[in-house]
């Protein structure tokens, strides 16, 4: 599973949107959209930390997903 798919699955399960995630993390909406559609495959460590904190998920799980692809 790609990083974008994993993030979107967590967002969907929590009833949140990319727009919300963008506002909370400060990550540009176009970056999140590019990740969602597969144009972008990774995030910087700084942005991955922001996403993990915002979604209350383990950063180690995001790292595993990022490295698997």
Query: What pLDDT, in 10s, does the model give residues 5-56?
Result: 889 889 999 999 999 999 999 999 999 999 989 899 888 989 999 999 999 9
Domain with residue 47: its CATH number is: 1.10.260.40
Name the pTM for this structure. 0.85
In a domain, 35, yes or no: yes
3-state secondary structure of 42: coil
Domain count, the chain: 1
pLDDT higher than threshold 60 for residue 69: no
- Is 67 contained in some domain? no
Is 54 part of any domain? Answer: yes
Q: Which two tokens stand for residue 34?
A: 């590019």
The per-residue pLDDT for 5 is 85
16 within a domain of the structure (yes/no)? yes
66 located within any domain: no
Report pLDDT for 64: 67
Separation CA 7–CA 16 (nearest Å) = 11
User: Six-digit token pair at 49?
Assistant: 């930390």
């Amino acid at each position: 599973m790609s990083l974008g798919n994993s993030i979107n699955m967590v967002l969907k399960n929590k009833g949140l949107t990319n727009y919300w995630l963008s506002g909370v993390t400060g990550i540009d909406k176009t970056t999140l959209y590019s990740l969602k559609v597969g144009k972008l495959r990774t995030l910087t460590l700084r942005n991955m930390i922001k996403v993990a904190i915002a979604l209350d998920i383990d950063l180690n799980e995001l790292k595993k997903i990022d490295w698997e692809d």
